[in-house]
Amino acid sequence: MNVSPITSWKDAAAYFTFAHSPTMIGVILTLSIVITLGVVVYTFMHENHSYIDYK
């Protein structure tokens, strides 16, 4: 069952918005690391607080 509208990969292309800018890649990487660490720290604090409430 071939329902794909793509009939050929001959003219296929990819667009990488920030691939030419190492600064933007660094900013996005740093932002994602900060957000991830923030979520981990907040989760740790919340779990400790919840544990104290049910102890």
Looking at residue 43, what is its pLDDT?
Answer: 96
What domain range is 30 assigned to?
A: 22-46
**Domain count within the chain:** 1
Whole-model pTM: value is 0.60
Q: Smallest Cα–Cα separation from 26: which of 16, 37, 18? A: 18
Q: How many Cα atoms occupy the beta-carbon half-sphere of 54 within 13 Å?
A: 6
36 domain residue, yes or no: yes
pLDDT (tens, 9 = 90+) of the chain, 55 residues, equals 677 777 777 877 776 777 788 898 899 999 999 999 999 999 999 988 887 766 6
CA 5 → CA 8, 10, 30, distances in Å?
9, 14, 38
34 domain residue, yes or no: yes
Looking at residue 34, what is its pLDDT?
Answer: 98
Looking at residue 45, what is its pLDDT?
Answer: 92
Looking at residue 53, what is its pLDDT?
Answer: 64
